[in-house]
Amino acid sequence: MATVTQIGPGAYRVEDDGKQVVVFVAGTAEDRWAFCNGEIYREGERHDEGRPKGGHYKDGGHYELTSPMPATVVKVLVAPGQAVRHGDTLIVLEAMKMELPIRAPSDAVVQAVNCREGELVQPERTLVELA
């Protein structure tokens, strides 16, 4: 059984089986973070994907491409009704001085474009709807 002693704000000494480590904890009830020996742990928020999320399916087979992070829209390369091929760049975002192309995940037709050039978008914000 591990014994925990708080040693400072957000800092805990944990003793388990005679050995001890210091663990740091912060965050809200929904999104908690811990740091121990160079590794970062998160609890609450899904953190299981290897790549930026960037989109999800909606009812009726629509696919919504979303912004993976807060960013500025620098280029809108498509319009509603346009047919696009897998891998085509639809939107170019810029964040922290790097460009992030948002590409079509498959061959599709653009249903709607929900952003405009120069706009600041928040994470998970829908940029383009495909069908």
| Beta strands at 98-103 and 89-95: parallel, antiparallel or unpaired | antiparallel
Nearest to 65 by CA among 76, 95, 35, 4: 76
42 alpha-carbon distance from chain centroid: 14
Residues 77-116 that bind other proteins (CB under 8 A): 89, 92, 94-99, 101
Q: Which is nearer to other proteins, 28 or 116 (CB)?
A: 28
Q: Which is nearer to other proteins, 33 or 111 (CB)?
A: 33
Q: Which residue has the tokens 């192309």?
A: 101
81 alpha-carbon distance from chain centroid: 28
Q: Does 121 bind other proteins (CB under 8 A)?
A: no
Q: Which is nearer to other proteins, 23 or 112 (CB)?
A: 23
Q: Does 125 bind other proteins (CB under 8 A)?
A: no
Identify the H or E element spanning 14.
Answer: strand 11-16
- Coil, strand or helix at 59: helix
Shortest separation between residue 59's beta carbon and other proteins, angstroms: 26
Q: Does 6 bind other proteins (CB under 8 A)?
A: yes
- Interaction mask 7-46, other proteins, x per CB under 8 A: -xxxxx-x-x----x-xxxxxxx--xxxxxxxxxxxx---
86 alpha-carbon distance from chain centroid: 22
Point out which residues bind other proteins (CB under 8 A): 2, 4, 6, 8-12, 14, 16, 21, 23-29, 32-43, 47-53, 68-71, 74-75, 89, 92, 94-99, 101
